[in-house]
Each structure stands twice: as structure tokens, then as C-alpha cells.
Chains A and B, each alone.
Chain A
Amino acid sequence: MKVPEKSKAYFVEMVQKNAGMIYKICNLYAAAEDREDLKQEIIFQLWKSFPSFRRESSFQSWMYRVSLNTAMLGLRARKMKYSHLSDREVQIPDEEASDGELETRIRQLYRHISKLNDLDKTIIFLYLEKCSYDEIAEITGISRGNVSVRLVRIKEKLRNHFNLKSGSE
């Protein structure tokens, strides 16, 4: 794979800038023991797919697409391990060190999203990352209308879960 040094520097800089996206996807799609593998696989797939990045869409949106596909297909194809995680497996970094309300709530949110199926998980993740409906449709490959319908359902489900668990609203 031949990529000019200038492009490579751009790639490294952009991946560093969007590192949070990779961490979030790893936490949503992989069990604790597979996260390092998935992180490595995502970065490798991004690099492999980098020549196909046309700069018509933003780097971030392209990165979402490749990273999510890797999370959903790459690791799955290799290990046939499904991302339906138990509560115990969804551990966010530095859990012991934190007991603030914000961290408790975000952990709960992660846990509930992790329990959704892959497609719904992707849709709500992209929504929370402030992607437009069109972007979500493009990345997942389903229609805009379908995105909208599913999103209503997922948010409702999430809201219910949250109410049940946190008891706050």
C-alpha cells in the first residue's frame, strides 16, 4: 500500500484528532477483552481504506463509516462473537476512580445502548454524535425514512430504560 508521506501525516493527525470516536465505538461494540483488538483492527482498516477516501465527504463521516463497519463486520467475521453484552462486560475506563453523577449516567447510557442490536446501536450512536439523518442513512445503507422511524423507537426504548434504572427525569 503506497500512500505519500504527506497523506500519511494527514491520516495520523486526523485519527489522533478523532481518537474519541474509536474509543466510543470499541466500548459499544466489543466486550472488554476484545476492545484492544477492535481498536487495532479499526485503525488498520482505516489505513487500508484510506486510498478510497475521496474527500467528497468529511474525514469524520468517512471514519464513522469504516470504523462502524469494522466493528460490526470485521471482528464478527473473525471471531463470530456477537456484541450483545452483559452488564458485567460493559465497563468504561476508570470506573473505580469515578463516582460522580455524570459518569454514572453516561455509563448507564453506554450499557443501554450496548444492549441494542447492531443497526439500532449504530443509528443512535450516530445520532448522539450529531450526524444528520442523511448521513446516518448513507452510513448504514438504509433509507432516511427508516432512520427516522427507528430513531423514534430507539429513543423511546432508551428513555424507558433510563427512567427505570435512574429513576430521574
Chain B
Amino acid sequence: MKKDELITLWEKGNDQLYQKEQIDKAMIEKYISEKALKGAVSIKFTILFYGLIQLANLVLLSMNVAGYMSNPTVLWLLVPQILITIGIMVFGMDLFYKFREINNYSESTQRLVNQQLRFFKRPYEWWLFLTSVSAIILMTNLNMYVDNDDGTYHIYNKALYAGITAGAFLFIYGSQKLASLRSLRALKAYLSDLNRGVLDQTRKLEGLNRKLIWLFVAIFLLLTVSMIFGLIQALK
């Protein structure tokens, strides 16, 4: 078949196939309404969720400032936390708009994938770190609020306290990092396939993802059973 025949077949065939298919105005109006958006929700949700955490932090920090007004040492610890929280909020807003911008698919495919890759490597990586910091701020300030003893806060075992805080930070950061690595790996695989015009990496990743899902299910079941067993032991 010559090239012209291919194009002719494409044109004539499609004319026949789609003569009845039309998109009316009402349909377009419905689709373009903001409510119709279903995609890219998870990252936006994460950013908005941590935005709310920053608000909660600000409220808690203000309450602690009021509660520890007579304790200059604690106040000097609270002020930087307020500044960091405000900074994280501003960064989060900027990130939200950057992500929205990247998801306006008006660039070429390769440029778009590269942009998404850059987003996950740089600003989103910072975001993961900062949100872990904000979770620690939330945790410590909740403790400080609950254990406020007339403007003083006692840490009985400083080493244990530091260890638990560091452990919590690593856990929060690590779990978020794992989730973002999945997206990053998918994008890298897709970019590699796009450049080479094959589907090898994408297919490999699909298989790996299936295995990972089973692994997560197994870990989840194991943890649930351990928790139930622990509860039963505790109740005895």
C-alpha cells in the first residue's frame, strides 16, 4: 500500500466511522467544569493535606507560645518553628501551582515527562523532607501542649526522646519517599521507552508493581495479625 493510499483510507474510513459521532456544547461544558476533574488527585491531595497540617501547627504553636510565655527557653524554641511552618506553607502553595502548571499538557511529550521528572527530583523531594519536619513539629507541640506543667516541659529521658523523634522522622520521610519513588520510576521507565520507541521498561515495571502490591498486602496482613494478637495479650 502506498503512503497516499494509507492517508486516503484513513480519511475516508474515519469520515464514515465518525459521521454520527459528535460532541455537543453541553457535553463540553460538563467536561470542562472543575468538578469533572478526577486526575492527578493524589499529589494535590498530599499537598493540601500537609497544608492543613501547617495550619494545625500554627494553631498549636500559638497555643504553646501562650502557654509557655513565662519560659524564655521554650519560647526561643517555638519562634523558629513558627517561621519554619510559615515557610513550609508558602513552599507548599508554590509547589501546588507548579504541579498544576506541569499538568497543563501543552508541551511536547518528552519535555512534559522531563518536567515531571524534574518536579519529582527537586521541589517534591524538598517537600517530602519539609512535610516530615512538619509532622515532627506537630508531634512535639502536641506533647508540649498536653504536658505543659505551669509553663515548664520536662523531658525525663533525653536520649530516648531524641531517638523516638529521629525514628518518627525517618519513618514518615521513608514512607513518603517510597511512594514518590514509584512515580519517579514509572516516569523514568516511560521516558526511556519513549526515547527508544519500545515498551520494555514499562512492561518490566508493570510486573514489578504487581509483585509489590502482593508484598504490601502480605506485610499489611502480618501487621494486622500481630496487632490483634498483641491486643489479645494485653487484655488477658
Contact = CB atoms under 8 A, between A and B. Distances in A.
Nearest to A154: B197
A80 B186 contact: yes
A105 B9 contact: yes
A49 B32 CA distance: 11
Given A23-B21, A80-B186, A103-B16, A109 B29 contact: no
Contacts of B24: 16
A80 B13 contact: no
A76 B22 CA distance: 25
A31 to B, nearest CB: 15
A44 B36 contact: yes
Q: Is the interface of A mostly helix, strand, loop or mixed?
A: helix
A24 B23 contact: no
B22 A169 contact: no
A43 interface: yes
Interface string A97-139: 0101011011101000000011110100001111000000011
B40 A117 contact: no
Interface stretch (B61-69, B105-113, B166-174): B105-113
Contacts of B39: 41, 44, 74, 77-78
B7 to A, nearest CB: 6
A122 B109 CA distance: 10
Chain B interface size, as a band, is 35 or more
Nearest to B200: A117
Given A65-B106, A69-B112, A73-B109, A102 B12 contact: yes
B16 A106 contact: yes
A74 B113 CA distance: 11
Contacts of B104: 45, 48-49, 51-52
B77 interface: no
Given A52-B106, A73-B113, A92 B17 contact: yes
B190 interface: yes
Interface residues of A, number: 69
Interface in B1-30: 1, 3, 6-7, 9-10, 12-14, 16-18, 20-25, 28-29
A62 to B, nearest CB: 7
A107 to B, nearest CB: 8
A80 B206 contact: yes
A82 interface: yes
Contacts of B108: 65, 69, 138-141
A155 B6 contact: yes
Contact of B14 (A1, A24, A45, A65): A24
26 contacts: A1-B34, A16-B23, A24-B18, A41-B39, A43-B31, A43-B32, A44-B32, A48-B103, A62-B106, A65-B105, A69-B109, A72-B109, A73-B105, A73-B109, A74-B105, A77-B40, A93-B21, A102-B9, A103-B13, A103-B16, A106-B12, A120-B197, A139-B109, A140-B110, A155-B6, A169-B1
Interface of B: 1, 3, 6-7, 9-10, 12-14, 16-18, 20-25, 28-29, 31-32, 34, 36-40, 103-113, 116, 183, 186, 190, 193-194, 197-199, 202-203, 206, 209
Given A53-B106, A105-B13, 10 more contacts: A44-B31, A69-B108, A73-B112, A74-B39, A103-B13, A105-B9, A117-B198, A129-B10, A138-B108, A141-B108
